[in-house]
Amino acid sequence: MQIYTRTGDKGTTGLVGGQRVSKDAPRIEVEGAVDECDATLGLVRTLLDEPELGQRLAWIQSDLFVVGADLATLHVEGQVAAAWVPRVQAEDVTRLER
C-alpha cells in the first residue's frame, strides 16, 4: 500500500515539536538502530524460558524506548512540545551498562 501526502517529504522527517531534519541525519540513523535493537530484544523475549531474564530485557526495552523518544525530540529551552518527552539521565546510562 502506498501513501501519498501530495506534498512530498523532500528527504526529511519530523521530530517531536514539528522540526524537520534530513532522513540521513546521524540522530535519525541512531534512532533507527535503537528501534531495531528494541525490536530484537522483544523477539528474544518471546523465545525465552527464563522469566527473570525476560524481565531484565523488558526493563532494557523500556530504557531504549526513552532513548528513542529523546533522540526523536529536538529539546529547546522553554519549548512546551518537548516538555513531556522523557530525557535520558545519567542513572539510565549506568543501569544499561550493568
Query: Which pLDDT score is estimated for 49?
Result: 94
Instruction: Give the model confidence (pLDDT) of 27-50 as tens digits.
Output: 999 999 999 999 999 999 999 999
61 domain-assigned: yes
7 domain-assigned: no
Range of the domain at 81: 22-97
Query: Which pLDDT score is estimated for 76?
Result: 74
9 domain-assigned: no
Please tell me the distance from the alpha carbon of residue 17 to that of residue 33, in angstroms, as a whole number.
22
Instruction: Give the model confidence (pLDDT) of 52-96 as tens digits.
Output: 999 999 999 999 999 999 999 887 776 666 677 888 889 888 888
Instruction: Give the model confidence (pLDDT) of 20-29 as tens digits.
Output: 899 999 999 9
59 domain-assigned: yes
Sequence-ordered list of residues with C-beta below 8 angstroms from that of 21, at least 6 positions apart, any chain:
12, 13, 15, 27, 28, 74
Give the number of domains in the chain: 1
Please tell me the distance from the alpha carbon of residue 57 to that of residue 51, in angstroms, as a whole number.
10
Q: What pTM was computed for the model?
A: 0.79
